[in-house]
Amino acid sequence: MMDATVRTGRPPRLPVLAHGIAATVLVGLYVTLFLEAESQSAVLGLLAVGAAAAVVAARSGVGTRVIEVLEHHPVAMGLLAAVLVLMETWLFAERHFVLLMITTYLLYVTVGLGLTIQFGYAGTLNFAGASFYGVGSYTAAVLTAVPGFPPLLAIPAGGLVAAVCGSLLVAPVLRTRGHYAAVVSIAFALLFKTFLEVNEVLGGPQGLLVGSLSVAGYDFAAPLRPWPGTEWSFYVHHVLAALLLALFAYAVARRIEHSWLGLAMDAVRMDEIAAACFGVGIERTKVVAFVWGNMLIGMAGALYATMVGFIAPNNFTFADSLIFLSILLLGGLGSRPGLLVAAAVVVFLPEKLQLIQEYRFLLFSALVLVMLMFRPEGLVPRPPRGYPGGGGGP
């Protein structure tokens, strides 16, 4: 056979990793400058530079190379990404606000990956992302208040409760076409927030205090003293925790996509009839996607709650759910690389550009609308599926 002409192996390691390292360094530099930028004109200038660089990367094929590396060398790139986040954390170790932004970014990436599994892969539209995030948060609030409960367990517990809620809610409608599940999730989003507001056990509109995380008596809410005379923000702990969670979520999403299960999800999303004729269990596939998506979303929510220490119904509105979905649609549905970019746009942009802060819901909806009309594949279209052992992929 014509093995030589068919690409089934990985691209050669060295030049490929060189691309990865170069990309990481450049991104790191850019992010540092961006986070440092104070004046609005500096932010706008950096945005222009970033946009231009993105266009050049896309046109010259460099972008494709970077995506190739990302898809074919997940472990190396995961380590590089971790180093990047750690570098930024170290650079901004004393600045609460910057670290909060970085953590928020990582949590949004986690949520986005959960939604990607649900909607990007299996095609089940979830308009209640913020609500399941909220389920995780409230679970953490309740559990950390229980004396003797190990706080760290609140994170997986948040994911578990969100997953159970989601499967109870949506399992009955998964048999039917997409828009029914969509409406059920909208109804749940509205129900959830109204419920929290009128319910007194969970604090009503005033919300609840959440206990902090701790490991063996080491409190995540206390400032970090790496060596005498230096005091780092307590958010450093949360950046680390969120980083681990995001890497875990990324690995889960990637492994799902690069598998027969991922193929089945795509098949179910695009044509249920053909999928059924080739043995794909439609409901099972959707339920697996929905449950695991919510698991990730709920874990992110629980971590968020323990970080901010105080949650209220207003943190989990329908508008927030739409923001989560916007990330997917901007980045490119089902595209993990796109998600990483779009989450950065959605999280960092309103925080750094005060003039759009107030208008962010309006702005992002308009942006998504334009995207759906003119570039439905998103900023970074989803790369082709790779398979374990190195087959396929971009």
Partner 1 sequence: MVDAALLAQHAVNALMLGIMYALVAVGFTLFFGVLDVIKFSHGDVLTVGAFTGLTVWLALVAVDLATPWLAVALLVLVPALATALLGALIGRFVVLPLKGAPPLNVLLATLMCGTILREAIRLFYPGGANPKPFPALLPTTAYQLGNLNLRLDSVLLFLTGVAIVVALHLVINRTRLGLAIRAVAQDAEIARVMGIDHVRTVLITFAIGSALAAVAGIMHGLYYNEINFSMGLLLGVIGFSSAVVGGLGNVYGAILGGFLFAFLQTLGAMAMPFASAYRDVFAFAVVIAIMAVRPTGLIAERGVERA
Partner 2 sequence: MIAPLLDVRGLTVRFGGVVALDGLELDVRPREILGLIGPNGSGKTTCFNVITGLLRPDAGRVIFAGDDITGSTPQEIYRRGIARTFQRSRLYLELSVFDNVALGNGKRLDAGFLTTLLRRRRLARQFAATLAETRALLDVFAPALIDRLWEPVARLPMIDRRRIEICRALVGRPRLLLLDEPSAGMTEEEMRELMDDLLVVRERYGNLAIVLIEHEMGVIERVTDRCVVLNYGRKIAEGDYRSVARDPEVRSAYLGTDA
- Give the footprint of partner 1 on this chain (CB under 8 A): 123, 125, 169, 172-173, 175-176, 178-180, 182-184, 186-188, 190-191, 194-195, 198, 273, 318-319, 322, 325, 329, 358-359, 361-362, 365-366, 368-369, 372-373, 376
Residue 83 interface partner, choices partner 2, partner 1, none, CB cut-off 5-8 Å depending on type: none
| DSSP 8-state symbol, 232 | B
Residue 366 interface partner, choices partner 1, partner 2, none, CB cut-off 5-8 Å depending on type: partner 1
Number of Cβ within 10 Å of residue 162's Cβ equals 31
Residue 195 and residue 50: Cα distance in Å, rounded?
43
Nearest residue (CB) to partner 2, 141 versus 174? 174
- Report which of 380, 295, 344 is spatially closest to residue 31, judged by C-alpha positions: 344
CB of 316 closer than 8 Å to CB of 130: yes
- Report which of 116, 144, 132 is spatially closest to residue 168, judged by C-alpha positions: 132
Q: Token pair of 68, please?
A: 């190739």
> How many Å from the N-terminal Cα to the C-terminal Cα in the chain?
22
Residue 2 interface partner, choices partner 2, partner 1, none, CB cut-off 5-8 Å depending on type: partner 2
Name, in order, each residue with C-beta under 8 angstroms of 92's C-beta and a sequence gap of 6 or more. Answer: 35, 98, 99, 102
> C-beta of 288: minimal distance to partner 2 in Å?
6
Residue 362 interface partner, choices partner 2, partner 1, none, CB cut-off 5-8 Å depending on type: partner 1
- Tally DSSP H helices, then E strands, for the chain: 16, 6
> C-beta of 211: minimal distance to partner 1 in Å?
28
CB of 128 closer than 8 Å to CB of 322: no
Nearest residue (CB) to partner 2, 120 versus 134? 120
Q: Token pair of 348, please?
A: 């960092």
> C-beta of 5: minimal distance to partner 2 in Å?
6
> C-beta of 112: minimal distance to partner 2 in Å?
19
Residue 278 interface partner, choices partner 2, partner 1, none, CB cut-off 5-8 Å depending on type: partner 2
Q: Token pair of 324, please?
A: 């989560």
Number of Cβ within 10 Å of residue 376's Cβ equals 11
Nearest residue (CB) to partner 2, 97 versus 260? 260
Rg from Cα positions in the chain: 21
Residue 132 and residue 300: Cα distance in Å, rounded?
10
Name, in order, each residue with C-beta under 8 angstroms of 389's C-beta and a sequence gap of 6 or more. Answer: none
> C-beta of 341: minimal distance to partner 1 in Å?
19
> C-beta of 123: minimal distance to partner 1 in Å?
7
> C-beta of 89: minimal distance to partner 2 in Å?
28
Nearest residue (CB) to partner 1, 97 versus 359? 359
Q: Which residues bind partner 2 (CB under 8 A)?
A: 1-2, 5-8, 252, 255-256, 259-264, 266-267, 270-271, 273-281, 285, 288, 292, 384-385, 387-389, 391-393
Residue 29 interface partner, choices partner 1, partner 2, none, CB cut-off 5-8 Å depending on type: none
Residue 263 interface partner, choices partner 1, partner 2, none, CB cut-off 5-8 Å depending on type: partner 2
Residue 267 interface partner, choices partner 1, partner 2, none, CB cut-off 5-8 Å depending on type: partner 2
CB of 294 closer than 8 Å to CB of 163: yes
